[in-house]
Structure 1
């Protein structure tokens, strides 16, 4: 039996969060909550001009709040998501000036903390080179100029703040071990993960070993 009601996948830009969320939803069902950002015109402007950072971050908070409100009007006994509601704070710490962040933080918390929060987080760990490769492959024009330094800063943000922001188990998974060419074995490995009752802590999960020592479902 799956021990968790709300599983969120997190990681840097290009880590493969949405791909894994869709895969897990296909096997385990439940409600699927995917991050919406294509309509955030301020995000595209921010990538061209950092002066639009506050506009972009405030738009994210508004959009996420509206999406979460709509999503939780439905009854979902099990949820797979490709982000945590409070992820905005990780990016805002990097993108905003200190005085802007002091203004932004209480607004974001007020608008996002009231919604259900995950009880398990899968953190996808990828090298910066792998992230850049994935970003290039998916071909979003406004992301193609993203620098290695920016991705490094977001990676540092996750390492420094994600593990302090939430009080739930966080499982670090090497994203390159997620082998979608072996879907049955992969699903079985995650089933074993979801059936395990983890204490609140950050721990590494060797997905490759789990896939080699599991029975396909």
Structure 2
């Protein structure tokens, strides 16, 4: 059975491999790729050095960038083919809730609540989970300058926030894949299995948890 999707979004904590999976599936399915433009956020390196001071400008810069992309994704010609993205717009508030103080969050929410109502809705969301040890190792291996200051405690906070968010998520069908013990970048069988679950398995209900077999 072939699931006919127009828009798939892949989500997960920093270092889990969402961008890598989006790129691999895009190539296999001849899809259109939409990637989060985090490298264009001028505040991000400063945020990892001084989280409290730069949280608000970092968050607002991401919000503006992501909303601009959402507007482009809603253009009438975009969904003539499958589109795969490495984020969903709603995830922006996970970071806001984690990093902003009460006054900043109130101001942020006044803008976010307007934007989220007119953002693109995925036909399927894939949430990649991983343990913090694996996330730390992935971040170490890709060795981005501004990510060297990410602490284990921050990753744990973020992982807990993501798990809480997706435990309650019901806006789109949701597939959860635990990636702690798999390598879909280097092991083609793992990627084959993920692709099979996404495109050839019927969706029953809102949440599917698929663990790659040995």
TM-score normalized with structure 1 length: 0.87
Match for 1:64 among 63, 66, 83?
A: 66
CA distance in 1, matches of 2:209, 2:102: 33
> Structure 1 stretches of 5 or more lacking a match?
210-217
Residue 53 of structure 1 is matched in structure 2 by 55
1:84-142 CA deviation, whole Å, 9 max, x = no partner?
A: 01111011110111221122123123123312211211111111111111111111111
Residue 13 of structure 1 is matched in structure 2 by 14
Is 1:78 the counterpart of 2:79 in the alignment? no
Compared CA separation, residues 45 and 145, structure 1 to 2 (3 A): same
TM-score normalized with structure 2 length: 0.88
Q: How many residues align?
A: 209
CA distance in 2, matches of 1:13, 1:130: 11
Residue 35 of structure 1 is matched in structure 2 by 36
SS in structure 1 at match of 2:89: coil
CA distance in 2, matches of 1:105, 1:200: 30
CA distance in 2, matches of 1:155, 1:29: 31
SS in structure 2 at match of 1:35: coil
CA distance in 1, matches of 2:207, 2:20: 23
CA distance in 1, matches of 2:190, 2:130: 21
How far the C-alpha of 1:34 sits from its partner, in A, is: 0.7
How far the C-alpha of 1:60 sits from its partner, in A, is: 0.4
Equivalences for 1:138-153 in 2 at 5 Å? 138-153=142-157
SS in structure 2 at match of 1:64: helix
1:67-97 CA deviation, whole Å, 9 max, x = no partner?
A: 2223443422311111001111011110111
Assess if the C-alpha contact under 8 Å between 2:73 and 2:120 holds in 1: no
Match for 2:158 among 154, 158, 162?
A: 154
CA distance in 2, matches of 1:90, 1:57: 10
SS in structure 2 at match of 1:133: helix
Assess if the C-alpha contact under 8 Å between 1:178 and 1:207 holds in 2: no
